Amino acid sequence: MLLVPCPNCGPRNSTDLRYGGESHARPDPNTASPAEWRAYLYLRDNPAGWLRENWYCASGCRRWFSIERNTATNEFRDPPLPGDKRGGAA
């Protein structure tokens, strides 16, 4: 069980949240090439280490936020402040 630091609710069990995957900025629909869309839709960095990812606090504040987690050790760092919308998390 992970203890996820939600910016609004504080530390919450990961079962209270929904995982939103890697956090990447959405390409501009007016200029993006098909290859960029494909990369945004499907391709993932999937590192064994620090990763910026999105979480949805489903049972708490019901807001998305993005945070860095180490996928090998499950440590979190750089928790966002309320209202922080970095990394494309809407």
Partner 1 sequence: MAMAAIGGRLRRRPPKYSAAALAWKGLRGESWPRVWRDCDLKSSYDAVVIGGGVHGLATAYYLARNHGMTNVAVLDKAYLGSGGSGRNTAIVRSNYLTPEGVAFYDRSVHLYEQMAVELNINVMFSQRGHLTLAHSDASLRTMHWRAEVNKLGGVNSSVIGPDEIKQECPSLDTSDHPRYPIQGALYHPPGGVVRHDAVVWGYARAADHMGVEMHQKTEVTDILCEGGDGPDGKGAGGRVTGVRTNRGDISTPIVINCTAGWASLISTMAGVRLPITTHPLQAAVTEPVKMFLPTVVVSGSLHVYVSQTDRGELVFGASVDPYANYSVRGSLEFTEGLAGHVLELMPGVSRMRILRQWSGLCDMTPDYSPVMGFTPVDGFLVDVGWGTYGFKAAPVSGEQMAEAAATGRTPKLIEAFALSRFDNGELVGEKGAASVGH
- Binding residues for partner 1, rule: CB under 8 A, are 1-2, 14-15, 18-19, 21-22, 34-35, 38-39, 41-48, 51, 53, 71-74
The minimum distance between CB 28 and partner 1, in angstroms, equals 20
Q: Are 15 and 1 in contact (CB under 8 A)?
A: yes
For the bound state, the minimum distance from the C-beta of residue 30 to partner 1, rounded and expressed in Å, comes to 21
Query: What is each CA distance from 17 to 40, 61, 64, in whole angstroms?
Result: 23, 10, 10
Query: Given the complex with partner 1, which of 42 and 83 has the nearer CB atom?
Result: 42
DSSP 71: T
